[in-house]
Amino acid sequence: MSKEELKWIITDDFGGKDTVALKVKLEGWDYTAYIKWDGCCEITKVNACVGKNGLEDETTHICDVPQFIEVLESLEAFRMANIEGAE
């Protein structure tokens, strides 16, 4: 993953002057997000997995991110402890 600053670009502004939601994309990456006026947010990895109809997007609600990070960190620790030569 790049250490440089990531740049989000607004692709849609729902509501104009009184914005009720924004759709944004991450420049140079296959991620989009939908951010509602109340701060609720969904992030989507475009073409993340293969489904019945070919490549499909995978969407995660922002509230699920802390738990997902915990799961990834646990999996990484398990991998390092159980696979000889893992880096």
How does pLDDT run across 49-65, given as a tens digit for each residue? 888 888 888 899 999 99
> Would you state the pLDDT for residue 9?
96
Query: Residues with Cβ < 8 Å from 58, sequence gap 6 or more?
Result: 44, 45, 48, 49
Which of 6, 2, 70 lies closest to 43, judged by CA? 6
Q: What 3-state DSSP class applies to 71?
A: helix
Other C-beta atoms closer than 10 Å to the C-beta of 8 total: 15
Regarding predicted confidence, which is higher, 86 or 75? Answer: 75
Supply the pTM of this predicted model. 0.69
Block residue for tokens 């609720």: 40
Are 25 and 32 spatial neighbours (Cβ–Cβ below 8 Å)?
yes
